[in-house]
Amino acid sequence: MSDIISALASDPMLTGYAQDYAQRKVKLVAQFLAPTVEVPELEFQYKIYDSKTRYRRVNTKRPVGGRATRIGFTADDEERTLKPRALDFPMDKLEGKNAKKMMNLARYGVRLVADAASLDHEADVLEKAQLRATANTPINQNFTSESVDPVDVIEEQLLEMKKVARNGADVKILWGTTAFRRFKNNKNVRAQFNGTKGGHKVPTLEDVRKMFMLEPEMMISDIVLDSAPEGKDPNIDFIMTNQIWIFASNSDANTMDPSFMKTFRLEGEWMKPGEYESEDRRDKVLKLDWVGEPEVTNTAAIKQINANAA
């Protein structure tokens, strides 16, 4: 039995299944805000930008007989070592199970682990982004006021963020749940969707996207978090409520572009299975290891608007 589990843990089919499933389970908001960048080694360098260190266009012209511009990293660039992450899945009650049933059990364990890991990753991304967005002096506006045009308020910040990105990344919007509700219910916004017969259309995200000059990609964050300690009554709320984040991000990010956040992962190591014997030597444990870390890579590339009610 032990030999079967050992062979199973190193089976390329299970490894491939774990890699593929882990990639597919990355939550959309996490990938939207902090796109994955694969790096070749655990220790690597990446460019970090702020209001003083800005993304710049490179010169690709080469004089005849001269040297081309070299791109890469220097001692001034950020150095990082990826942190290991892991979850274990006990494989007990194995008596009487053949290799096929044990493979099914292992795949079931992979799915449970990948689901849990993706939720943890998304909360990690949002918490780090929230700290940076709050530090960048948010803008406060009363989105319930008839004198406030939310479209113009957001449009102004979209254009400012385009300058920060300096053509190196797209500008996107992430809405909190309360913020989007207050936006679509604002009288000035509702007026743009009133029907000719007095009816009212509820705008979708696609409708809202087309209200802006740049037609930015956008999503709504509906992730909830229970902030109550263990054993206490739950205190559940959305991580993003009245906040609107306008930020720069490349869907296909790399270690040098000016995206606000990135998730660095070791190339080809999204989730690697292995096995070990339990402490009481009665069962086998399927271990799933990976390395990855979301990081803020351009501190100036996010702006928060608080869609207040007063």
pLDDT digits (tens, 9 = 90+) for 50-83: 766 656 666 677 777 777 776 667 777 889 999 8
Question: What pLDDT sits at residue 196?
Answer: 45
Q: Does some domain include residue 157?
A: yes
Identity of the amino acid at 310 = A
Q: Which domain holds residue 255?
A: 2-58+77-308
pLDDT-above-90 percentage for the chain: 50
Asked if pLDDT for residue 42 goes beyond 90, the answer is: yes
Asked if pLDDT for residue 198 goes beyond 60, the answer is: no
Question: What pLDDT sits at residue 229?
Answer: 78
Q: Does some domain include residue 68?
A: no
Mean pLDDT of 37-52: 88
Q: Does some domain include residue 217?
A: yes
pTM: 0.84
Mean pLDDT of 136-154: 97
What SS3 class is residue 217? strand
pLDDT-derived band at 38 (thresholds 50, 70, 90) equals very high
The CATH number linked to 218 is 3.90.1690.10
pLDDT digits (tens, 9 = 90+) for 218-254: 999 988 877 777 888 888 888 899 999 999 999 999 9
Mean pLDDT of 250-275: 91
Which long-range contacts does 185-192 make (Cβ < 8 Å, 24+ apart)? 185/144, 186/143, 186/144, 186/148, 186/149, 186/150, 187/146, 188/146, 188/148, 188/149, 188/150, 188/151, 189/150, 189/151
Asked if pLDDT for residue 1 goes beyond 60, the answer is: no
Q: Does some domain include residue 198?
A: yes
Q: Does some domain include residue 63?
A: no
Question: What pLDDT sits at residue 281?
Answer: 74
Mean pLDDT of 8-15: 81
pLDDT digits (tens, 9 = 90+) for 98-134: 778 888 888 999 999 989 998 889 989 999 999 999 9
Average pLDDT of the chain? 87
Q: DSSP for 232-295, please give it.
A: SPP-EEES-SSEEEEEEE-TT--SSS--SEEEEEETT-S-EEEEEE-TTSSSEEEEEEEEEEEE
Question: What pLDDT sits at residue 4?
Answer: 64
Question: What pLDDT sits at residue 264?
Answer: 96
Q: Does some domain include residue 50?
A: yes
Total count of domains within the chain: 1
Mean pLDDT of 153-178: 95
Question: What pLDDT sits at residue 67?
Answer: 78
Q: Does some domain include residue 69?
A: no
Question: What pLDDT sits at residue 52?
Answer: 65
Asked if pLDDT for residue 199 goes beyond 70, the answer is: no
Neighbours of 275 (CB within 10 A): 19
Q: Does some domain include residue 206?
A: yes
pLDDT-above-70 percentage for the chain: 90
Q: Which residues pair with 236 in a beta bridge?
A: 226
